[in-house]
Amino acid sequence: MLDSGSTSLRTNRNMLAFLMAVLFFASLSTVLFELALTRVFSIILWYDYAFMAISVAFFGLGIGSLLVHMQKDYGNSTRLRRSGMWRWLSMPQMTPAALAKKITEHSIAYAISVPLFILAVALIPPDTSYIYVFYLLSSVPFFFAGFIMALVFYAMPRQISKLYFADLVGASSAALMLDPLMLGLGAESVLLLTSLLVAGSAIVGMLLLLRNKRKAEPSEVMTKRSKISAAAVLAGLAVLLLVSSPAAMAAMQPQVAKGIDYFAKVHPGPNKGLYWQLIDPNFEHLSARWNSFSRVDVTKQNSFDNVDVGAGGTPVRSQRELANIIIDADAGTPIYRWSGDRAELAWMRDYMDYVPYDLTAKADHVLVIGGGGGEDIMMALAGGADKVTAVEINPMIVSAVKRFGGPGNVYDNPDVDLFIDDGRRFISSSSDKYDMITIKLVDSWAAQLAGGYALSENYLYTVEAFQQYYRHLSDDGMLVMIRWNFELPRLMPIVAESVARETGQSMEDASRQIMVVEDRPGLYFGRTQDSQMYYPVLVMVKAVPFIDEQVDLVRQKAEAGRADVMMLADSMINPPYDKLFSSASAYDDYVAAAALANPKIPTDDSPFYFAKEPVPQQMVILLETVLAISAALSVILVYHARRTGTRFRQSEPGMAARTAGFVLFAIFIGLGFMILEITFIQKFLLLLGTPIMALTVILFSILLSSGIGAYVSGRVFGDRPHRAVFLSVPILAGIILSYLFFLQGIIDSSITMELPSRAALTFALLFPSGLLMGFQFPSLIRMASMPLRFNNGTGDKNNNNNTTLLWGINVVASILGTVLAAMLAMIIGFNGNLLVGLAMYAGAGASALLSFVAGKRYANQTLPLTERE
């Protein structure tokens, strides 16, 4: 045990500073790597797979820590040292210089693994068939990071509060840095940057330590080998930084630059629409930019020779495109050619999404949620709107429109007011009434919050959201939504339930305010092939019942355009929706008739509209994978204990119970922390709006407050870590219960505040719980590393440093907590998750009590137990 076996290490401030600096940059880089990796895997695979990849890859942290634990035990096992069989795995007692060298070696290994990972990602076919290869490769940098962190924690367990503070402050700094780095460098360069941060901080710190040691001990100098190694590593990192810089790329020959660009860039897989455009010579790739929650590409089709024309020989929409914006390599939104003259928009009247404007005398004020490339804004202007309020969540999309949209781009139009915000948050904070609200194919997975933390969806498609839309309609206003046909069975219960709630009517009466038209393939909207399987559906919801003239007009237009009608108010309702709007039928009858796999209607407490099943199959596979890996690690640890002779004897029940309490404590706080963190992220998303702000403010608040809590627990409670747990857990439970009863009301009443005020409120609300959550892990390590005192005055000679074991178990439990948080949110909702998180911390408190009582009983023996072999 380094901390008790080396007085100089324990008291050396330079060594502590080195460990804190290395841990800060390792934690910062790990979080940056994790969040950037979600974007990378969203491009080459798919969103759900990105979430799974991060969860599996993060096992590398736990495995790295557990390997350090095994090395420590093998180095301390007399029997195995004699055999020589496991000598290669041993980690003998270290001097500060040896420890710094070992940390630096693994930092260099991390730095090497990152560019190799990027190269492998570029070379391996971007296909889900290779998904486990991607998982394995992505876990390698995490493994080295876990090894580094475990060595740091192992070195000074008595300083765990300061070290854990550095760890969480580093992680919170990553939340602040992620978006500017992604915007300025791109995902690939952010990944490379983490290798420079990890290796650079370790090398610089090691050189400073050696310099200080030479000053203190002039006779001891750095060896020639150490000098050569350090110089070589610094030179290699300098070359890596130089080669990856844009200036160096521009200075190279075009062929060389093109080759490096290919092998250092992320390319979409064949299941992504952008993949086919990039290999089609008819398309030109104009731009690619990243931010913290998306990649935005801009392409241009150069020829339309084989494209049909629309009604009367007019060009179809695609021929009017200047460019096409593609979000995360798949979700597209076009930029149309337009000079700014409304007369040029007459061609839009032939399309299905213009039908709502035919049904109203004039839509003076239109709200467009999801402005995208500007198509829906132009449609509103073509419909005669005097004012269009456009809400777009992704600022890079707006930048692309302004860059490639020509002189008449919609966002510079004087009749258009633009807001960069989440559509649901915006309308919840608005007091305006709108003649028309349009939401066209706005997919939440195109703006996922943070795939490494939650299977996040926004709040656009919940019952409460539709109630908000309804309340913001003028007296004769209309909500217009366009979704895909296969979503309609899931969408219609939300529409029906919201209208019934807001009007106080029965479902049968509410049907008079709803019309649904399928485009198969009529009204020149979408594709023009009769054989297509996926096509858009127009859903119209009116503030008052549709009149007969409006119903007849929709019927006529649908017939003329060969479109199918699913619902014309109460005059015609096709199956299975007749079951939904019939007073003679129950909701279960509709579920059976629609063959609805997920009957749960999305609400703000469980907003998983895109989940086709109660628990998606990807989540089940992920849970099975996590459990399988956890089981494998458990088997390895049991085998390790038997080989090293560290298993507890039957004559030591007190000591066994004490250690079991520590292990349970590590598991409970790992599960509880992630379940609460993910729940907080989701619940505060509605208050903060954009994913950029949510990611920055929420993660920063939780991680920073937890880091402060870690530091405070050590300063205040010192050698009484049990007292820190027994005091903090009940207070934390009370705070969680207050969130359960009051948080949603606070969010609803504060949603109209300015962004700085909302960010400050979020920090203030999250700080108390984060502070107390930060107490737990440092308290656990101090409890586990403190030697017992027997009643005869002797000390516990058998005390072991199990920091690495407990941290590894905590990391593995955190991964399981990530998966469970998302799955439980789909089943019991986020409020249910708060109660589960409370139960986890209550379990941690009980485990701490178990270890405390067992330790007291063990220490109260007359004589200490005989020494183990």
**Predicted confidence band at 477 (pLDDT cuts at 50, 70, 90)?**
very high
CB 313 within 8 A of CB 329: no
> Which pLDDT tens digit goes with each residue over 204-254?
888 887 776 665 554 444 455 445 444 544 554 454 444 444 454 445 444
Q: List the one residue out of 713, 710, 743 whose CA is nearest residue 834.
A: 743
List the Cα angle 797/800/805 in 5-degree steps. 170
| 607 alpha-carbon distance from chain centroid | 16
3-state secondary structure of 795: strand
* Strand bridging mode 434-440 / 473-484: parallel
β-partners of residue 542 are 478
Q: What's the CATH superfamily of 311-594?
A: Vaccinia Virus protein VP39 (3.40.50.150)
3-state secondary structure of 77: coil
**Predicted confidence band at 9 (pLDDT cuts at 50, 70, 90)?**
very low
d(CA 363, CA 365): 6
**Predicted confidence band at 261 (pLDDT cuts at 50, 70, 90)?**
low
Contacts of residue 275, Cβ cutoff 8 Å, sequence gap at least 6: 126, 267, 268, 269, 329
> Which pLDDT tens digit goes with each residue over 76-105?
555 544 444 444 444 545 667 778 888 999
CB 198 within 8 A of CB 26: yes
Give the CA dihedral 397, 401, 404, 406, nearest 10 degrees.
180
Which residue shows structure tokens 């493994």? 143
The length of the chain is 869
Q: What is the pLDDT of residue 793?
A: 53
Q: List the one residue out of 824, 837, 56, 27 whose CA is nearest residue 455.
A: 824
d(CA 614, CA 608): 9
d(CA 392, CA 387): 16
Contacts of residue 153, Cβ cutoff 8 Å, sequence gap at least 6: 65, 160, 163, 781, 803, 804, 807
Which residue shows structure tokens 């602040």? 176
CB 844 within 8 A of CB 668: yes
Structure tokens at 652: 């030591």
| Residue 387, phi then psi, degrees to nearest 5 | -145, 135
DSSP E strands: which ranges in 547-590? 564-568, 572-573
Please say whether the dihedral angle defined by the alpha carbons of residues 846, 847, 848 and 852, taken in this order, is positive or negative. Answer: positive
> Which pLDDT tens digit goes with each residue over 282-301?
899 999 998 877 889 999 98
Domains 1-244 and 311-594 share a fold: no
> Which pLDDT tens digit goes with each residue over 352-380?
889 999 999 889 999 999 999 999 999 99
d(CA 51, CA 53): 6
Q: List the one residue out of 206, 235, 240 whose CA is nearest residue 222.
A: 206
Q: Which residue has the higher pLDDT, 595 or 328?
A: 595
Contacts of residue 679, Cβ cutoff 8 Å, sequence gap at least 6: 821, 825, 830, 833, 834, 837
3-state secondary structure of 788: coil
**Predicted confidence band at 625 (pLDDT cuts at 50, 70, 90)?**
confident
β-partners of residue 567 are 516, 573
Is pTM beyond 0.75? Reply is: yes
Q: How many CA atoms lie within 13 A of 706 on its CB side?
A: 25
CB 535 within 8 A of CB 527: yes
Q: Which residue has the higher pLDDT, 630 or 649?
A: 630
CB 728 within 8 A of CB 772: yes
> Which pLDDT tens digit goes with each residue over 725-761?
999 999 999 999 999 999 999 998 998 898 889 999 9
3-state secondary structure of 481: strand
| Residue 332, phi then psi, degrees to nearest 5 | -110, 150
Structure tokens at 149: 């962190």
Could you say which of 1.10.10, 1.20.1250, 1.10.150, 1.10.8 is the CATH number of the domain covering 1-244?
Answer: 1.20.1250
d(CA 86, CA 77): 10
Q: What is the pLDDT of residue 766?
A: 95
- Ranges of each domain in the chain: 1-244, 311-594
Q: List the one residue out of 57, 191, 41, 34 whose CA is nearest residue 128.
A: 41
CB count within 10 Å of CB 506 equals: 12
d(CA 812, CA 671): 9
Q: Mean per-residue pLDDT for 709-734?
A: 92
> Which pLDDT tens digit goes with each residue over 55-82?
666 778 888 888 887 777 665 555 544 4
d(CA 724, CA 729): 8
Structure tokens at 518: 């399928």
For the cut 90, the answer to whether the pLDDT of residue 186 exceeds it is no
